[in-house]
Each structure stands twice: as structure tokens, then as C-alpha cells.
Chains A and B, each alone.
Chain A
Amino acid sequence: DADVTQTPRNRITKTGKRIMLECSQTKGHDRMYWYRQDPGLGLRLIYYSFDVKDINKGEISDGYSVSRQAQAKFSLSLESAIPNQTALYFCATSDERVETQYFGPGTRLLVL
């Protein structure tokens, strides 16, 4: 089984709808991240969390919110989706010892 899972893997939604992307991990890591990938721009950090009580904005947090429900779960919400939020979204995990971020399989989101 995959260590980092994301649901859904693909999603089509309409402008103005609220949508939640979920991430779960079995690696036992305390740190979790959300990135988005756009063609030609690499990956950009949206939010990150060092533990359940610690949430931090990344470089492109506007229009997004997150919830760290447990050490193993980190959800990303788009409160009112807009077309320029169409992208590939990745969740990642790491811990202080490992120093490397491991990524989930990604969620392809299309906002019409």
C-alpha cells in the first residue's frame, strides 16, 4: 500500500463550488505539505503543517484553507473554486529526522 495517499485522484468541479482534497499518510511523519503544480512553473507551496497544532501559509495560500485533523491527515479546501485553480495538487510528508519530502500520487483538479 502507498505510504501517502490522496483522494480524489481526479476531480471536475464548477466555479464557485467548495471542494476538499484529502491526504493521508502511514509514514508516521509529523510534517505535511500541500503543493500545486502548473505547467512550466514547477511546484509551489500552498500550506504546510509541522504538527496538528501548527499550520503555516506557503507562497500561494490565497483562496485555500487547510485542516490538520490528525497527525496522519491533512486536508486542503478551496472555499470557492475558480478556473485558475485548475492544477495538479500534491500532498507531501517529512519529519525532522528524514529531511526528505515524500509525495503522494497527486490530484488532478479541473475547475470549469
Chain B
Amino acid sequence: AQKVTQAQTEISVVEKEDVTLDCVYETRDTTYYLFWYKQPPSGELVFLIRRNSFDEQNEISGRYSWNFQKSTSSFNFTITASQVVDSAVYFCAIRPVIQGAQKLVFGQGTRLTINP
């Protein structure tokens, strides 16, 4: 069985601060995908990134960066110079890379509030 833990239920920071959202996962699969989704106050789920387990290279996209460490089963998400528009609930998710396996297992989410 797979499990995703986002220990930070809520985070509140002041605009322009850097903030890191933690994600720790458990899986017995040797290959898997990891995902981050954003859920703004309007409620929709927005895909942010997918990472293959065999690719441990960190990724940066603008103010967003992701640190994948297989040794610690973590896939953390950092927002640099946070903005009010970053306020949302962020979900980390995992699924195995095997044919027919499409179920995404989500963490409980981290509610991020960026204060002006």
C-alpha cells in the first residue's frame, strides 16, 4: 500500500518569504510517480509537477522548486519570494508506474496562507 504524509496542516507566512511544503511518502513499488497539485480558494485542482522515481534531479520553475530525495522518501516543494496568489491548499500524491495502476494516493494537503 502507498501512503503520503503532509505533516504541515497549515502554514502562514508574510509575502516575499520563502516557504517549503513537506511531503513524505511510503511505497513498496520500485518505480512510481510523484505529483504536486494546487487547490486555490476557487476550489479547482491544478496540476503543478510530475516526477519519476528514477529521476532525482531537482526541478525549478520560476519561483517554484522541488527537491526529490529518494533516500529519505521525500518530495518537498519550495516557493521562493511568496506572493498572495500562492495562497492555496497544496496536495502531494503518488502512484506506481505499472500498467493498469492509475490510482493516485493523496496526502491530506497543506493549507498555505500568504499574508500581505
A residues sitting closer than 8 Å to B (CB atoms) are 31, 33, 40-45, 48, 50, 58-59, 88, 90, 92, 94, 99-106, 108
Beyond A88-B43, A100-B47, is A45–B33 a contact (Cβ under 8 Å)? no
Give complex CA distance A103, B109 in Å.
Answer: 16
Give complex CA distance A43, B6 in Å.
Answer: 13
Contact B50 A100 (CB under 8 A): yes
The 3 closest A-B pairs by CB, nearest first: A42-B106, A103-B45, A43-B106
Contact A94 B102 (CB under 8 A): yes
Contact A40 B104 (CB under 8 A): no
Give chain A residues whose Cβ lies under 8 Å from the Cβ of B91.
42-43
Show 27 residue pairs from A and B whose CB-CB distance is below 8 angstroms, ordered by the A residue.
A31-B102, A33-B102, A40-B9, A40-B108, A41-B108, A42-B91, A42-B106, A42-B109, A43-B45, A43-B104, A44-B106, A45-B103, A45-B104, A48-B102, A48-B103, A50-B100, A50-B102, A59-B103, A92-B45, A99-B33, A99-B50, A100-B50, A101-B102, A102-B47, A103-B37, A103-B44, A103-B45
Please count how many residues in chain B sit with their CB below 8 Å of the partner chain's CB atoms: 21
Contact B47 A90 (CB under 8 A): no
Given A50-B100, A99-B33, 9 other A-B residues pairs in contact with their CB atoms under 8 A: A33-B102, A40-B108, A42-B106, A42-B107, A43-B91, A45-B103, A103-B45, A106-B44, A106-B45
Question: Closest Cβ of chain B: how far from A49's Cβ, in Å?
Answer: 10
Which parts of B74-116 form the interface with A (CB within 8 Å)? Answer: 91, 93, 100, 102-104, 106-109
Give complex CA distance A102, B61 in Å.
Answer: 19
B residues sitting closer than 8 Å to A (CB atoms) are 4, 9, 33, 35, 37, 43-47, 50, 91, 93, 100, 102-104, 106-109
Give complex CA distance A112, B33 in Å.
Answer: 39
Q: From A40, A45, A90, A101, name the one whose CB has the most chain B CB atoms within 10 angstroms.
A: A101
Give chain A residues whose Cβ lies under 8 Å from the Cβ of B107.
42
Give complex CA distance A105, B40 in Å.
Answer: 11
- Across the interface, A105 reaches (CB within 8 A) one of B35, B43, B106, namely B43
